[in-house]
A and B are shown apart, each in its own frame.
Chain A
Amino acid sequence: MNSDIKREELLISQLADLLVNDKHVAVGAASPIPGAAALLAKEEAKLNNKRLRVTILHSNKYNNFTDGARELFDCAAQGRIDTFFLGGVQIDGQANINLVGTGTYPKIEKRFPGSFGSALMYFVVPQIILFREEHSPRTLVDQVDFISAPGASDENIYRPGGPKYLITNRALFKFNKDLKKFSLLKLNQNQTIQDIKELTGFKFDISENISDMLNPDTTRLKTLRDKIAPMVSEFYPEFTNRIWGI
């Protein structure tokens, strides 16, 4: 059974584990894996008699907002969102993220979509999970070419939120706010610490409790495939077709 678990399913499962203490998780643009993880965590919370609210921006059905697109940002600034996900063309060792492009701005070499709402969400949501599937020296860099949102701010800046974790298809890191540095927490199966060192463009610490990411158990996998996948297909049809053929 375990051999046919897809990489995306493992990441969804790992992300769902990071959401167990939340009351409200929001998911933004271009985030099928975080979206699936949030809905999975919600489904599992129900089994434990807990309630998790999930807001998926690009869904009509799983969207709790009625006051237009600005409500996500207002709601986050009010402290009503516990976890949000951000990505990055580049992410650096101080957790600065770049969603704009490579090269020296404004003379961009390779242009990507843009910063979306990152420059506010990163400041106000307590648990930001950085999510970037590609784990390579070109995505995880020593210093980003453009800071869409900084990983840390000066003391006098209002900042109740910030980076907590970084997950890639190879590893899970925890961010240490005081040291402004990532610490390697979990490895995807078949990865070694040495592999991760070679594929990461920034220096990081290694957690004393480092372990392997756990595959989803049979129950979780069944929930994900039978129940969550069809829900995700409403707002990420291309993704669900590719992963689950629906």
Chain B
Amino acid sequence: MKRRIFQIIGLILPNSYFKVIATKVIYRGQLKGICAPLFNCYACPLATISCPIGTLQHFMAIAKVPYYLIGYLGLIGLAVGRMACGWICPFGFFQDLMAKIKTKKFRFPSYLGYLKYVALVLLAIIVPFLTHEHWFSKLCPWGALEASIPWGLWNPSDPGFLSLTPANAPIRDLLGGSYYLKLGILAGFLGLMLFFKRPFCFLACPLGAIFSLFNRISIIRLGVDTEACTKCNKCLRNCPAGLKVYENPNSINCIRCLECTKCDKVKLYSIFGKQPMTRDKKSEADF
């Protein structure tokens, strides 16, 4: 319940520019200089802040090093790993709600979790650098749901996007092939959400890929009492990412939602504090 409250705040706070209803122009003021550590589209009509992945692509497209973004995401990742994914990400929240649809849920093989690094390196770094265009954003399913569909339905003229020309034409006249492609990708992920928990976070989220690099070295980590654990899979049943926590408590796919800590064999601990349980041996060895 506490996590739901944070997720609702994570959805509403970055999307509270209600003035757009009167102006029909996207907010492009100084607050858009702030990247929230969550997946929220810059182009959403209500957006007040920037998406870190949109920012990363923007810097790549103009061939500049995003020092601010690296430092900012590095500090957050070092403190809490992927916790933002589990607690405040609006797309994660949406996928959690979709997972409530009663269908049989399957698990991805763990190696598919590395696909998100391909999405990060290829679509958010290399291709924008080479083509000077925001290719991940052009394909982003959350961008489709939060921005493309609302703007397409609303269809105002000149809503303030730098990337749309001629600027004074109705949006619908300017939407090209990539618009329909991203709608198709959204449809694909919506289909996956019926049978898998958080498929986008597991397979394709570049922000999750960045934070996941810190899961094993962050200040707070998960530990499993391996001697007491009976592998009853209570953690798997509670996990919104569909993970067997006892196999690898600080896996790259763990979103640190802490639902698994409902089992008393799984505990959150800090490297500065007393460690209450047997530590995650794999993580210790890697660190």
Instruction: Answer yes or no: do A and B interact.
Output: no
